[in-house]
Chain A
Amino acid sequence: MSFVEYREQIQDGDTAIIFLGHDSMFPVTIKQGSQTQTKYGVIRHSTDLIGKNYGSKVTCSKGGWVYVLYPTPELWTTNLPHRTQILYSTDISMITMMLELKPGSVVCESGTGSGSLSHAIIRTVAPTGHLYTVEFHQQRAEKAVEEFQQHKVDHLVTVKNQDVCKNGFGVSHIADAVFLDIPSPWEAIGHAKDALKIEGGRVCSFSPCIEQVQRTCLALEEHGFTEINTLEILLRVYDVRCISLPVPDFGTPAEEKGESSVADKAKQIPTSQPGTVQFKSGVSSREMVGHTGYLTFATKNLF
Chain B
Amino acid sequence: MSVGGMAEGVPGGQLIQEGDYVVLKKQDVYKAVQVQRRKKLIFEKQWIYLDNAIGKHYGTTFEVTGGGNLQIKRSEAAAAEPKEAGADNRNIVDDGKSQKLTRDDIEALKEKGIKGQEIVQQLIENSTTFRDKTEFAQEKYIKKKKKKYDPNISILKPSSRILAMMYYAREPGKICQLRYDTLAQMLTLGNIHAGSRVIVMETCAGLVLGSVMERMGGYGSVIQMYPGTGPVRAATDCFGFPKSFSESLYEFPLSKVESLISGTFSGHSRVSAQRDSVQGGDEESNGSTAEKKEPAQDVAEETCPVTEPEGSADSSQPETQEEMEVSGEESNERDQNPEKKQIVMEKKRKQDERRKRESEAAVLLQNKNADGLIIASRFHPAPLLLTLLGFVSPSRPFVVYCQYKEPLLECYTKLRERGGVINLKLSETWLRNYQVLPDRSHPKLVMSSGGGYLLHGITVAREPAKPNSSCPERTGEPAPKKLKVAELES
Contacts and interface: CB of A to CB of B under 8 A. Distances in A.
Interface of A: 4-6, 8, 19-24, 26, 28-29, 31, 33-39, 53-57, 67-70, 72-74, 89-90, 92-94, 96-98, 100, 102-104, 120, 123-124, 126-128, 176, 199-200, 210, 213-214, 217-218, 224, 228-242, 270, 272, 280-282, 294, 296, 299, 301-303
Contacts of A104: 3, 6, 8, 217
Contacts of B408: 282
Given A53-B461, A93-B188, A128-B217, A280 B433 contact: no
Contacts of A238: 405, 426-428, 453
A37 to B, nearest CB: 5
A27 to B, nearest CB: 9
Interface in B182-208: 183-185, 187-189, 191, 193-196
Given A236-B430, A240-B409, A74 B188 contact: yes
10 contacts: A19-B422, A39-B481, A39-B483, A55-B395, A57-B463, A69-B460, A97-B184, A100-B159, A103-B219, A176-B8
Contacts of A235: 427-429
Contact of A22 (B219, B480, B486, B489): B480
B429 A26 contact: no
User: Which of B58, B216, B432, B458 is most buried by chain A, counting CB atoms within 10 A of its CB?
Assistant: B458
A294 B427 CA distance: 20
Contacts of A74: 188-189, 191, 397
Contacts of B441: 210, 213-214
A96 B57 CA distance: 24
Contacts of A239: 426
B396 A70 contact: yes
Contacts, number: 238
Nearest to B160: A97
Given A93-B188, A97-B164, A240-B426, A231 B433 contact: yes
Contacts of A34: 488-490
Contacts of A240: 409, 412-413, 424, 426, 473
A199 to B, nearest CB: 5
A192 B480 CA distance: 44
B131 to A, nearest CB: 26
Contact of A199 (B57, B61, B405): B57
A5 to B, nearest CB: 6
A103 B194 contact: yes
Contact of B188 (A8, A120, A213, A214): A120
A47 B487 CA distance: 17
A286 to B, nearest CB: 15
A303 B75 contact: yes
A231 B431 contact: yes
Nearest to A123: B193
Interface in B1-24: 3-4, 6, 8, 14
A266 B220 CA distance: 49
A6 B371 contact: yes
A103 B395 contact: no
Contacts of B184: 93-94, 96-98
